[in-house]
Amino acid sequence: MSAFDSAAIRAEFPGLKTDKGQDWHYLDTAATAQKPQAVVDAVARAMGEDYATVHRGVYARSANMTLAYEAARRTVARFMGAQTADEIVFVRGATEGINLIAQSWGGENIKAGDRILLSQLEHHSNIVPWQMLAERAGAHIDVIPLTEEGKIDLEAMAAMIRPEHKLVALAHVSNVLGSVLDVRRASDIAHSAGAKILIDGCQAIPRLKLDMQAFNCDFYAFSAHKLYGPTGIGAIYVRKEILDAMPPWQGGGSMIDRVTFEKTTYAPAPTRFEAGTPAIIEAMGLTAAIDYVERYGIEAIERHEAALVAKAREALSSLNSVRIFGPQDSAGIISFEVEGVHPHDAGTILDEEGVAIRAGHHCAQPLMDYLGVPATARASFGIYSNESDVEALVQGIERVRKIFG
């Protein structure tokens, strides 16, 4: 099979067929990716013949599942380019991971008068936890503007940052514009002022090669369901010396060393951040998803998606009354509007044509305000996308224009 044998890859994703067996043009991968059969099978196996709890049982199946669960942590660490698996904490998703960092590290390190630096294009999950922290601590939030093409303006960031900034939190890839951040440069700017930096990697994880050591960031968060894996699990990378110093966030089973009514002592990191029975089944699905992506190669996936984005941008640009947002080199995502048509209406008509897109503010209302629109339509691509998806999208938009023309 060639690197991207379109028919063969699509056949590996049971969700890409309609109930009538027709092809479904799924262009909402930025919201959640479809799952290959390999992931479905891994989840079913973990829920069935392999199932047992982890970390507690002395019987063989529990011991085997514990080994598999910790192997999943090592797989994530390798995939992210972390120095050690002890820098990886499993969470329910990036949202929980960012909240964990805000509550634990932030609660210890953000004080009255401190400042937090965000950007104009952040997802609500990388805004609201910091607002809540700032309100509790008496800290302040500053916002980095965007360049004309829709990227985080790192020149402006360098001019804005000062010693009062204790944390910078930025998206690696915008979930609306698809613009890509130079993470290493952003990290260097943050560290030059003594700030820590957190990267929201949800849109980067399925299409860009990660290297935590080269990026030199302090925190990195992602959700597995964007990476062709199951919902209900994600991971955060935290630089080991930072993680080791962070207090626990939630209390319960597994995260303890010794409990008495007088005092509780806690397990070392990362265990002390994983209270209760973990997402065992989902961890097996995440491992299978990483194995699947590595089968094709993340660089090959990036090239494949880039070619489709270029084709779609060119086709949409040729249509009158269609406005495209974001840079030419957007990663896997195109946001647009059809003049005089609400994105929800466009999305409904496209659905009638068998094309699934996202329409709305994409949990990025400050960015919508910045762009001067209430919402956008968004088409996003994945490993299973092909030229027929682009053609169906363009044909659907042409129908939208005719209806509202």
Q: What is the CA radius of gyration of the chain?
A: 22
CA distance 76 to 290: 8
**Cβ(312)–Cβ(389) under 8 Å?**
no
Percent helix, strand and coil across the chain, each rounded to 5?
A: 45, 20, 40
**Cβ(179)–Cβ(173) under 8 Å?**
yes
- Coil, strand, or helix at residue 37? helix
Which two structure tokens, joined as six digits, stand for 7? 């028919």
Look at residues 339, 344, 340 and name the one whose alpha carbon lies nearest to residue 378: 344
Catalytic residues: 363
CA distance 222 to 342: 31
**Cβ(237)–Cβ(80) under 8 Å?**
yes
Q: Going by C-beta distance under 8 Å and a sequence separation of 6 or more, which residues neighbour residue 357?
A: 27, 28, 346, 347, 350, 377, 378, 379, 393
CA distance 23 to 17: 5
How would DSSP label each residue in 203-224? TTTTTS---HHHHT-SEEEEEG
Based on DSSP, count helices (H) and strands (E) in the chain, helices before strands.
Answer: 15, 15
Instruction: For residue 382, give Cα distances in angstroms to 26, 80, 220, 261, 317.
Output: 9, 19, 22, 52, 21
Instruction: For residue 97, give Cα distances in angstroms to 62, 84, 157.
Output: 27, 18, 24
Query: 355-356 and 333-338: which strand pairing?
Result: unpaired
Which two structure tokens, joined as six digits, stand for 76? 């994530």
C-alpha neighbours within 13 Å on the C-beta side of residue 47: 10
- Locate tokens 């503010």: which residue? 361
